[in-house]
Amino acid sequence: MSAIEVILVDHLDRPTGKMEKLEVHEKGLLHRAVTVYVFNSRQELLLQRRASDKYHCGGLWSNTCCGHPYPHESTQDAAERRLREEMGMEVSLTPMFELSYNLPLSNGLTEHEYGHVFFAVCDRLPQLNPQEADAFDYRSLATIERQMRQQPEQFTPWFLHTFPRIPAHLDAFPA
C-alpha cells in the first residue's frame, strides 16, 4: 500500500505542494483538512471515540469524523469519503466555515491544519469502521461543553479547539 499524501497549503489555503501524511504531522507543516459534524434532529452531536490503536489521539472523543483531502480531491468529496470510511454514513454535507490551528499532540506530532468544517443532520446510527472508531454517542452541546470543562483530557485537541465555534454556526445552519 502506498503512503497517503496530503495537500500542503499557505495561510490562505492555497496549495503549495504535497507530502506524506505522517511526515507532515512530524514536521508540523500547514496542510488542508476536513472536519464533519453530524447532528440529529434534536441538535445532538454525533461523537466518535477514536480507535485505541490510531497513530495519535487513540481512545479520545472527537467530532463525527475528520481527515485530509487527497491531492486533486475537493474538500466536499473528502468530507463525504471520510464520513463513509469512518462512520459508514452517506449524508448530504453543508460547508459551514473554515479555520486554522497549530496544536501539539501528546506523541510529538502536530496538527497544523487549515480546516474545512461541514455540518449535516441525520437520525441514523453509524456503522463504525473499527480501525477508525470504537464507540459513538449523540450528545447535547451543553453536555459536551460541561464534559470538556470537567475532563478535557478525554477529547482530541482539535475538537477542544473547534467545538466552541459550533453553536454560533449551528444557529445559521439551514437544517
| pLDDT tens track, the chain, 175 positions | 358 999 999 999 999 999 999 999 999 999 999 999 999 999 999 999 999 988 888 899 999 999 999 999 999 999 999 999 999 999 999 999 999 999 998 788 999 999 999 999 999 999 999 999 999 999 999 999 999 999 999 999 999 999 999 988 987 776 6
Residue tagged active-site, from 66, 80, 86, 122: 66
Beta-strand pair 15-20/61-62: unpaired
Residue tagged active-site, from 86, 111, 113, 122: 113
What is the value of pTM for the model shown? 0.94
80 is a catalytic site residue: no
Cell triple for residue 25? 504531522
Beta-strand pair 31-39/133-139: unpaired
Q: Is the Cα torsion angle 145, 35, 55, 22 positive or negative in sign? A: negative
Cα 21 to Cα 136, 138, 149, distances in angstroms: 25, 30, 31
**Residue 65, H or E segment:** strand 65-67
66 is a catalytic site residue: yes
